[in-house]
Structure 1
Amino acid sequence: MTNLGKYSAAFWLDIAVKAALVCLLAFGAFSGLQQFEGKAFVWRLATYPIAALIIPVIWAVRGRKPGYLYAADILLTLPFLIDTVGNALDFYDAIEWWDDANHLVNWALLSGAMGAIWRPRFSSWTTLGLVVGFGAATAILWEIAEYLAFIRNSPELATAYQDTLGDMALGLAGSFLAGLGFGFAPRR
């Protein structure tokens, strides 16, 4: 029998974030509730868990070296959980600024995951540049995915251009904040 007490609090937090994500995604995909309608929840159920497994898979492929990157793993998964919780609580339709706040905060978290990985390996300025570049690229890819998944055939198409530019700008701003934090925070 495995001694579960040997695992750190970070391990259990990581597991809890991933479990909550998968459970809420399944609920959203199959509950039939109105707040999930037209929000591509089957697509999210198929893709968000893949994103949540990126760091564990890379770690396993690289030989499970000591020093698992819990902070990066949690930071990478949290934006997907926050997005899913926002949909479950109908915040995207009920709170006007929720989508904008998510693009800023979630890109700070997502980019922060990369900052946690790159900070020990690169200088402050290089870390800042890599984090901002990663954030910009993923913000663009996210907006393309949003368009393909549900905007192109929805009533939101009329205002999508302005919203997309705003979302990308907020994602870039969040990435910049994460880059500053991870690039220029005091090092040990």
Structure 2
Amino acid sequence: MAADALRILGTLSVLLALLLHGLTDAAIVAFALPGLMLPRFIGMRPCADFAVSVTLLVAAWSNVYDLYTRIGWWDVMVHFVCAGALAVVAYLFLAHRGVVAPPVARGFSAAGAVVLTTAFGLALGALWEMVEWIGHAYLTDRIYVTLDDTIGDMAAGGFGALVAGVYLAYGPRLIMPSALPARESSETTSRS
């Protein structure tokens, strides 16, 4: 229920950002909405769902309040945490769709999960940096873009995805067995 409340808060946040800060900031907050919905759709455990939702809302509102430029270490920390969270969501989405083996299923490779999760984090980081560049070049010069910032953000995100991949592979299950494809959920063992 707490994660669902955050999804409602995220939706209301778009309207609040629009009313108080303008269209650009509302669009930035709206960019988080798919990420808020996906953990519920793929059946992530409530604590993991809540953690992803908090991470995305903090990342979005940090942009609105310019925390990335006001607090020196904030940008790197948010890229580390957010890329890790989204990379795990990407892996679990593919597991939910039967594309990759979910954790604890026959055919699951811990090393493969770490490599894929890291690659997802790097890819998502590259996409985000492209969106920032497009926003800076075509929408507003308020979006902070430099080569050092871009490379630092991608490195932090890649490292965050690597750490998250290790957690996905060796930590407690982040997805409920009932959310897995039928053939996979019957092959899994429970591990908390």
TM-score (norm 2): 0.69
Deviations 1:86-144 (A, max 9, x none): 24554234312211111111112222334555424422111111111111111111111
User: Runs of at least 4 residues of structure 1 off by over 6 A?
Assistant: none
Q: What residue number does 1:62 align with?
A: none
Tell whether the 8 Å contact from 1:108 to 1:178 is kept in structure 2 after alignment: yes
5+ residue gaps, structure 1, are 1-11, 60-67
CA distance in 1, matches of 2:40, 2:13: 21
In the other structure, the counterpart of 2:62 is: 86
Say if 1:18 and 1:186 are closer, same or farther in 2 by CA, change over 3 A.
closer
Match of 1:26 in 2: 15
Counterpart check, 1:167 vs 2:153: yes
1:107 equivalent in alignment to 2:92: no
CA separation of 1:124 and 1:83: change in aligned 2, threshold 3 A: same
RMSD: 2.9
Superposed, 1:68-79 pairs within 5 Å as: 68-71=43-46, 73-79=49-55
Aligned residue in 2 for 1:146: 132
SS at match of 1:119: coil
> Percentage identity across aligned positions?
23
Q: Is the 8 A contact 1:135 1:171 kept in 2?
A: yes
Q: Which of these residues, 25, 36, 43, is aligned with residue 52 of structure 1?
A: 36
Matching residue's letter, 1:41: D
Question: Quick one: distance in 1 between partners of 2:75 and 2:2?
Answer: 25
8 Å contact kept, 2:132–2:145: no
For 2:75 and 2:166, how far apart are their aligned partners in 1? 23
Partner SS, residue 142 of structure 1: helix
Give the whole-Å Cα distance in 2 for the aligned partners of 1:181 and 1:158. Answer: 31
Matching residue's letter, 1:14: A
Q: Which residue of 1 aligns with 2:26?
A: 42
Contact 1:115 1:131 in 2 (8 A): yes
Once the 2 structures are TM-superposed, how far is the Cα of residue 17 of structure 1 from its aligned partner?
Answer: 1.7
